[in-house]
Amino acid sequence: MNNSNLHLYINDILLKNNYEIKNKLAIKCLHDCLDSIIFNIISIACIICYINNSKSISNQTLTIMNAYIIDNCSTNSSSVKKTGGNSIVMPSEFYGVDSGRYSPANITNDILNIDFNSQTLRPQIGGGIKKNHLTQVIDKLLDYYKIKASKQIINKIIKIIDNYVNCLICKLKTIKKPVTNVIIKQVIKKNKLFKIFS
């Protein structure tokens, strides 16, 4: 796969998580893990397309794919047990289940309130639009499988990948010693949630 795009993505994800890994072998291991998860997720989606005689990935394909991954990579739909008795608790939206917390009925503080006095409809948050480094990697895999996907579907796939990678980084952050490639492999092996990385 495109090494430079994967490397840039890893740098971005570590920066967003305010986490630094200095060990070069550990970075290479993360690179390989990312390579695997992209290949696995796209492959599962494409196989579902083949089974359904479809030439493009749809929202329904993603729903089936998510159900397959959850069935194979989690102990239940609300949390995944890890060693030591603790758990990685993920919101139900991570698994494609609507909890209602993001509905209009669940009102929370809105940081994007309209400011009528300054005639500001919505304040800008962050910079301009930035193309995700995974887009080209996914496009090449889809070309290989001769399967199409809309920009919206690709963005949803990237979000799924982001969720898993962020979850892995959060788990690594709990380790109180410098992270090595051996530690990363152990974390992936011990947590069923991360089976998708192998």
User: b/e map of 87-107 (b: 16 or more CB within 10 Å)?
Assistant: ebebeeebbeeeeeeeeeeee
Position 108 scores a pLDDT of: 52
Residue 69 pLDDT? 84
pLDDT attached to residue 192: 85
Q: What pLDDT does residue 117 have? A: 56
At residue 182, the pLDDT reads 95
Residues of the chain with pLDDT under 70: 1-2, 74-131
Please report the DSSP string for 169-191 in residue order.
Answer: HHHHHT-SS---HHHHHHHHHH-
Q: Where are the domains of the chain?
A: 3-96+130-197
| 6/13 Cα distance (integer angstroms) | 11
Evaluate whether the domain defined by 3-96+130-197 bears CATH number 2.130.10: no
Residue 72's alpha-carbon distances to 21, 66, 189, 192, in angstroms, are 29, 10, 14, 8
What DSSP string describes 79-143?
EEE-TTS-EEE--GGGGT---STTSTTS----TT--BTTTTBSS---SSS----THHHHHHHHHH
How far apart are alpha carbons 59 and 38 in whole angstroms? 18
56 three-state secondary structure: strand
For residue 88, the model assigns a pLDDT of 43
pLDDT the model gives residue 92: 54
Angle at 176 between CA 172 and CA 182, to 5 degrees: 55
Structure token pair of residue 167: 């979850």
| Best CA proximity match to 192, nearest among 29, 72, 32 | 72
Give the helix/strand (H/E) hosting 57. Answer: strand 56-57
